[in-house]
Structure formats: structure tokens, C-alpha cells
A and B are shown apart, each in its own frame.
Chain A
Amino acid sequence: MRDQKLWTWHLAAGAIILVLLGLHMVIMHLDALVGIFNPAGGHPIDWANVVARGQSLAFTATYILLLGAGLFHGLYGLRNILFELDPAPPLKRALSWVLLLVGVGLFILGTWAAWVGHQVASMT
């Protein structure tokens, strides 16, 4: 049952990444056509535009969602690759735990950074 569910989440995470990376590309590279994400004008990574996006709770939520989807998709993919080297069952369990802890740790760190960024931008 576990692999069926993990694979389904892997696909779902891929779809989320596709949408959010598409949004990222639009914001960063199609600013001449879609200017609403860069209210201060100029380059999309100008400080004023970064702050403007950071003030938005919806944008902060997409940062956290993309982080979670990217971490799960990447680390589950890495786990699959490592499992194909046919490690012994105890090593498989250890790898799964290490990847899980790394993923959860990075997610907590990234979520904290995104939230602090949102608060700093809101105070600006």
C-alpha cells in the first residue's frame, strides 16, 4: 500500500511543481507581458518587487507549497534511485529515515525562512 500512495504523492508533487514553476517563469521572465506581480516596475528581482510579493500571504503560501512539493518529489526520486542499487533491507530502512529527516528538517527551515520573510516584508 505504501508504494502506491508514495507514487501517487510523487505525481501530485510533480504537478504542483509544474504549476508553481510555471508561475515563477511568468513572474520572472514575462514581466513585460504580465506586470501585476511586479507592482514597483523595473526588474522582477528589484527589492521593492520582492518586498511587494513577500507581503502577500498567498505568495508566502506558494513558496512553502513549492518547497514541500520540491523536497518530496526530489527526495522520493532519490530514494528510488538508491533503492535500485539493491541495498540490504536494514540499509533501505536507514536510507528512508535519513531522507525523511533531511526532508522534514529542510521543510521546517524553509517554512521558517518564508514566514520570517513575510513578516519582515509586511513591516517594510
Chain B
Amino acid sequence: MLLELKDINKTYFGAQPLHVLKGINLSIGRGEFVSIMGASGSGKSTLLNIIGILDNYDSGEYWLDGRLIKDLSEKQAADYRNRMIGFIFQSYNLIGFKTAVENVELPLFYQGIGRRKRHQMAMEYLDRMGLAPWANHFPNEMSGGQKQRVAIARALVTHPDIILADEPTGALDSKTSVEIMDLLGELNREDKMTIIVVTHESGVANAADRIIHISDGVIGSIEQNRDHNAARFGSGDLIK
């Protein structure tokens, strides 16, 4: 297993302590395309943050590629994030004052890779996303779909073990959403990339091979999903 979660618990201590994750057990193998689905407040984003080493958990064990991810120093966490995980966010999270290609180069910059090499690698991935002509444009000169593809290129450029996508289509229209999900599906099939998508839209979740339903901090059901052509992005929750 590439990724293994054992009895993960997480509580946010505020005015009212909030037990968000109540014993999550989950295994994801290399090359899987998994979606984590749940309503807002179900704990799915917290789970994603823990998987992405952006957040800590209180108890349990999280193994990533044979390494126990627990109590890491900031430096180690940054290094693991950089080398093992590629992030895709709902709001793209591109840096506004950097061009597309510079955004894609940034993770490589933090790896200490030289400029020429960096540029060449970034261009390669932008080209794969069909964005080579847009390399020198700034994010605010691009459409939502293009921005998300730049973000995907940035996630891929370090050859990570996992792509983590947090509501990747949340800010896109339905036609573009289909394109982005198709792109992720293609990456999974052709490059054997492990992809985890967090969403509340069943149409998006439907693109994955396995759908993990989470509600109130526990995993409700896990559903195998082989028929990706069922009504996608149909009318609300009635689809499938």
C-alpha cells in the first residue's frame, strides 16, 4: 500500500472542541484513483490536509510509502510535500505575479534545481497540458480551466507519488469540469498516477474508481465504481 491511515483522530480545540476525524482507517494503493466524498463539515478536507502533510493529527498512524508521517519537523514536512505530493486546489492557488511557467517551476526551485533544467521540465509539462503557448502569461490572463491545468502541471512536475485534488472543479463550469476530470482520469490510466480527489459533487466523484463516503468524521461506505459513464454532472444528487 502506498498510503495507509490507521485509526486517525483529529480534534480542533476552539471555544467548543470539535472532534472532526473519529478513527479513520483507509488504505490506498499505488495507481489508484480514489475520491473522498462528503458534505461540507464532514471532515473530508481535514483528512486531505493530513494526507497532504499540511496538518497534524492527534492519534493514530499515517504511513506514506513506508514512512511514518508523524511529528515531522517543518523542514521534513516541506521536503515530503515537495517530493511526494502534488496539490491541486479549488482556487488554483497560483502565484499571481508569476507567469504560468514560473508557477510550474516553483516546486523545482525549492528542490534546488538549476534554472535551465527547471524551465525545460516546466515547459514539458505545460506542453502536455496544451498550454505551451500560454507559458509566459500571468494567471489573471487565463481562463479557469487553463489556470487549473497550470496547477496540474505544477503538481506533476516533481513526479510526486500522489496527486491530491481538493474540489478541483469547484470553481469551473460543467464543460471545463468534465475536461479537468478527464485529464485526471487520463493521468491515472496512462501514467499510473495515484490520484485522490476530495469533493462534495457526486458527478466529480464518479470519475474515480473507488468512492469513499465520509460523514461526521467516520468513513460511511466504500463503493467500487467502474462505470464512469453514468450520468455525470447530472441534476444534483439524483444521478447514479
Partners in one complex: no
Binding site for A on B (CB under 8 A): none
